[in-house]
């Protein structure tokens, strides 16, 4: 079963919680909270009811969030299937505009041949272009700028 990362900001740092309160706060079972305690979540003491400080709960979830986080260097895109940052196949990526400030880079993973996506700000595009070849989208030619007649036009009406 996949581990779900919980929002550390749900707990108040100046409050202490029981196992039941933590379970209802994060919408998990009480057994899950007890498993967190076995995995390193500290309690105030070993007596019942077990009390957990809010700051310890926040620190526990922040540590779990940052434990497996991997940052991509310039020229790398994170592959979800391989679960690692990779340099795209052929050092090439396609670029699609999301809006006027954000771009979406689309590339192929060199190991598993799946599509990798990465959001990039327009300001950081030049830094990435030094590391890989990025093809920018070409503007579509308007029909009035074309030298050929449109296939859909009915110019020979009599």
Question: Do residue 63 and residue 81 come from a single domain?
Answer: no
Residues 49 and 85 in one domain: no
140 within domain boundaries: no
State mean pLDDT over 83-110: 88
Each residue of 75-91: b (16+ CB within 10 Å) or e?
bbbbbeeeeebbbbeee
3-state SS, residue 43: coil
The whole-angstrom separation of Cα 120 and Cα 102 is 6
Looking at the structure, do residues 27 and 51 belong to the same domain, yes or no? Answer: yes
Examine the pLDDT at 94 and tell me if it is beyond 70. yes
- The per-residue pLDDT of the chain, averaged, comes to 84
Tally of structural domains, the chain: 2
pLDDT, tens digit, for every residue of 145-158? 666 666 665 555 55
In the prediction, which pLDDT does 18 show?
A: 93
**pTM for the full model?**
0.53
Residues 82 and 34 both lie in one domain: no
CA distance 8 to 60: 8
Identify the domain boundary among 28, 48, 67.
Answer: 67
Same domain, yes or no, for 51 and 97?
Answer: no
One domain, residues 84 and 130: yes
pLDDT at position 21 is 94
3-class DSSP assignment, residue 64: helix
Per-residue pLDDT band at 20 (split at 50, 70, 90): very high
Q: Do residues 154 and 113 make contact, with C-beta atoms less than 8 angstroms apart?
A: no
Q: What interhelical angle do 19-26 and 30-38 show, nearest 10?
A: 110
Domain span including residue 28: 8-67
Residue 60: CB atoms within 10 A of its CB come to: 20
Going from the C-alpha of 8 to that of each of 14, 36, 45, 59, 101, the distances in angstroms are 14, 14, 22, 7, 30
Q: Is the pLDDT of residue 32 over 60?
A: yes
Q: Is residue 144 part of a domain?
A: no
Same domain, 87 and 49: no
């Amino acid at each position: 079963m996949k581990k779900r990362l919980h929002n550390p900001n749900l707990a108040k740092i100046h409050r202490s919680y029981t196992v039941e309160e933590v379970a209802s706060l994060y919408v998990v079972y009480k057994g899950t909270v007890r498993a967190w305690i076995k995995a390193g979540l500290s309690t105030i003491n070993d007596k019942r009811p077990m009390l957990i400080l809010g700051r310890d709960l926040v620190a526990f979830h922040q540590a779990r969030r940052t434990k497996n986080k991997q940052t991509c260097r310039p020229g790398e895109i994170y592959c979800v299937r391989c679960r690692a940052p990779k340099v795209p196949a052929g050092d090439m990526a396609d670029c699609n505009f999301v809006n006027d400030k954000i771009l979406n880079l689309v590339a192929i993973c060199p190991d598993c041949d799946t599509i990798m996506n990465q959001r990039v700000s327009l300001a950081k595009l030049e830094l990435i272009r030094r590391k890989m070849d990025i093809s920018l989208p070409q503007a579509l030619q308007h029909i009035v700028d074309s030298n050929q007649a449109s296939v859909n036009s009915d110019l020979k009406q009599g």
